[in-house]
Structure 1
């Protein structure tokens, strides 16, 4: 429905005051006809007479009131239709309502920022290695610094390759000593963020554009135990490089690669899990093959199994 234009309102007021208005005068205001505010003068076709405002308003309101009544009736019918299922939903609500799917970087970051602002005790994070952009670094600083200022403890797990990442080393150096702890481990599977014992976030896609926000106490407690398991097997970031060769000439990282090779992982998957690029991974595999005297990929797997280095790692 069109709105009554300013010119139409002025002409309608003129017609009400005079009792009629010339038909030619209302041509610039077609809204008067759309609102049926004028009707032909029965005594002179060149003139129009105004409809009473009360009658005109009633004509406009009646369809709206009818539509409102129909929508109310429809709402009542919907409520009646879903009422039998409401009691059933309470049986699953405690689980389904505690897991929220977040899609899109903006929505994920908004949820993370809200959880961080509400965090009071400790934030646990697992951050598999990737190329941390300057923007991501700044976002992390903006999120973490207020936590530290509130006395919240932060513990973060990286892969060993983070020791050679200028971005991650700079990130750790910017936060006050003793307020945040950083450790590294040879292998991480996926990203994880936990605030207190209240909420946890995990991604569901490799592009990090879909995540789960979990507030179910049992799920959060389980993920905390997973984090603590990895934390107890990790090395402080300040403890020095973990890649020094053992007595058998094989470094810790090559032991990790050997384990994944025996499990059947391809080079790309090994590199992703250990937080390194594929070229570096293949260079370590070549050194491992040289150390064991392997001439082929198939033979390398056999020699790894026969050498006993995996038993030594355990």
Structure 2
């Protein structure tokens, strides 16, 4: 194959355009069996030397070919056939280069596993594993519980939990506690109003677990021996992320400790005065967030209650303080000092599951 370069490809401007001499000559040839330079020059009233130069250009473009047996006569060629003849060498060269480029690309890409496995980013990512299957998550929790030697700390936002999940957790946690492993669990205040949750807390408390509740929101996580954490996924409530990175695990543990210090012990036995106190605390938190301009969805997430319960509580509180609108409620809360330090409130907006 003759070597070609892309600099040899004719320019698009060389193709005969309407109104040009080349277009007139090609149109003249299309309407005749064959043409010659003198006749074409005479009939089109174009200087012979200009026609001769134009014929050379059209021949180069394969739009004219010398007539067989007549060296000075030319015949017009179908533009489709001409383009195939003209561009065939370039198409072949292009395919050869594309094949060579693809081979180089594949050989370069074959080195990616080596690169990824030896970069600092890859090594950090190896300590974080995403798990999207619920059964796989349960299996990992059971294995980590069996391997745990010193302490399990758990933070469970969102209020009430499913009874089936609580039963499964109770069996797993009882096994851990019976081996002498310390266990601390943090709930939101709203979990106190759920009977299955109280029953679960009563069961594990008798085996030595410590359970507390707090009014604010926090992250969902289970940490084993301060080394391995299982945290929730923002886009898949059935999945989890398994974290072995010591820096991230340390941060999660510290966040738990900060919330634990200010949390209140969870008494699984129903105490009317205690329930009233917790309800008042929830109302205070709700008033603060209402005064700070949070919407119902945000407040519900932070308190661990359903949007419907949140709306009902807000409606009741607005009636109590004599507010007709949320704007008026915020003003009255601040004006009358119903909640202290409302100007400095800044609640994080961490997602959690809804619960009553």
TM-score range, shorter chain: 0.5 to 0.7
1:255 is displaced (CA, Å) by 1.2
User: Given that residues 160 and 242 in structure 1 are in contact (C-alpha distance below 8 angstroms), is that contact kept between their aligned partners in structure 2?
Assistant: no
Structure 1 residues 291, 243: CA separation in 2 closer, same or farther (over 3 Å shift)?
farther
| Counterpart position of 2:94 | none
Match of 1:299 among 308, 311, 328: 328
Determine the C-alpha separation between the residues in 2 that align with 1:233 and 1:186.
10
User: Given that residues 120 and 196 in structure 1 are in contact (C-alpha distance below 8 angstroms), is that contact kept between their aligned partners in structure 2?
Assistant: yes
User: Given that residues 242 and 252 in structure 1 are in contact (C-alpha distance below 8 angstroms), is that contact kept between their aligned partners in structure 2?
Assistant: no
* SS of alignment partner, residue 270 of structure 1: helix
Determine the C-alpha separation between the residues in 2 that align with 1:260 and 1:80.
52
Determine the C-alpha separation between the residues in 2 that align with 1:295 and 1:87.
60
Once the two structures are superposed, what CA deviation does each residue of 1:87-133 show, in whole Å capped at 9, x if it has no partner? 87242343111111111111111121121111111111111235533
Structure 1 runs (4+) deviating above 6 angstroms are 77-80
Instruction: Give the CA RMSD over aligned residues.
Output: 2.9
| Counterpart position of 1:226 | 255
1:242 is displaced (CA, Å) by 5.3
Aligned 1:123-138 pairs, distance under 5 A: 123-138=152-167
Determine the C-alpha separation between the residues in 2 that align with 1:228 and 1:235.
13
User: Given that residues 122 and 196 in structure 1 are in contact (C-alpha distance below 8 angstroms), is that contact kept between their aligned partners in structure 2?
Assistant: yes
* SS of alignment partner, residue 339 of structure 2: helix
1:192 is displaced (CA, Å) by 1.1
Match of 1:202 among 231, 235, 241: 231
Q: TM-score, normalised by structure 2?
A: 0.59
* SS of alignment partner, residue 237 of structure 2: coil
1:231 is displaced (CA, Å) by 0.6
* SS of alignment partner, residue 149 of structure 2: coil
| Counterpart position of 1:149 | 178
User: Given that residues 243 and 253 in structure 1 are in contact (C-alpha distance below 8 angstroms), is that contact kept between their aligned partners in structure 2?
Assistant: no
Match of 1:96 among 125, 131, 142: 125
Asked if residue 106 in structure 1 is aligned to residue 135 in structure 2, the reply is yes
Structure 1 residues 121, 278: CA separation in 2 closer, same or farther (over 3 Å shift)?
same
* SS of alignment partner, residue 294 of structure 1: coil
Determine the C-alpha separation between the residues in 2 that align with 1:225 and 1:282.
33
* SS of alignment partner, residue 180 of structure 2: coil
User: Given that residues 125 and 193 in structure 1 are in contact (C-alpha distance below 8 angstroms), is that contact kept between their aligned partners in structure 2?
Assistant: yes
User: Given that residues 184 and 237 in structure 1 are in contact (C-alpha distance below 8 angstroms), is that contact kept between their aligned partners in structure 2?
Assistant: yes
Structure 1 residues 264, 204: CA separation in 2 closer, same or farther (over 3 Å shift)?
farther
Once the two structures are superposed, what CA deviation does each residue of 1:12-41 show, in whole Å capped at 9, x if it has no partner? xxxxxxxxxxxxxxxxxxxxxxxxxxxxxx
User: Given that residues 290 and 326 in structure 2 are in contact (C-alpha distance below 8 angstroms), is that contact kept between their aligned partners in structure 1?
Assistant: no
User: Given that residues 228 and 249 in structure 2 are in contact (C-alpha distance below 8 angstroms), is that contact kept between their aligned partners in structure 1?
Assistant: yes
| Counterpart position of 1:211 | 240
Once the two structures are superposed, what CA deviation does each residue of 1:223-256 show, in whole Å capped at 9, x if it has no partner? 111001111111101295556479xxx9221111
Q: Which deviates the most, 222-231 or 92-101?
A: 92-101
1:82 is displaced (CA, Å) by 2.3
Asked if residue 186 in structure 1 is aligned to residue 219 in structure 2, the reply is no
Larger radius of gyration: 2
Structure 1 residues 88, 293: CA separation in 2 closer, same or farther (over 3 Å shift)?
same
| Counterpart position of 1:162 | 191
Determine the C-alpha separation between the residues in 1 that align with 2:326 and 2:258.
32
Determine the C-alpha separation between the residues in 2 that align with 1:215 and 1:100.
9
| Counterpart position of 2:90 | none
User: Given that residues 202 and 212 in structure 1 are in contact (C-alpha distance below 8 angstroms), is that contact kept between their aligned partners in structure 2?
Assistant: yes
| Counterpart position of 1:261 | 290
Structure 1 residues 254, 180: CA separation in 2 closer, same or farther (over 3 Å shift)?
same
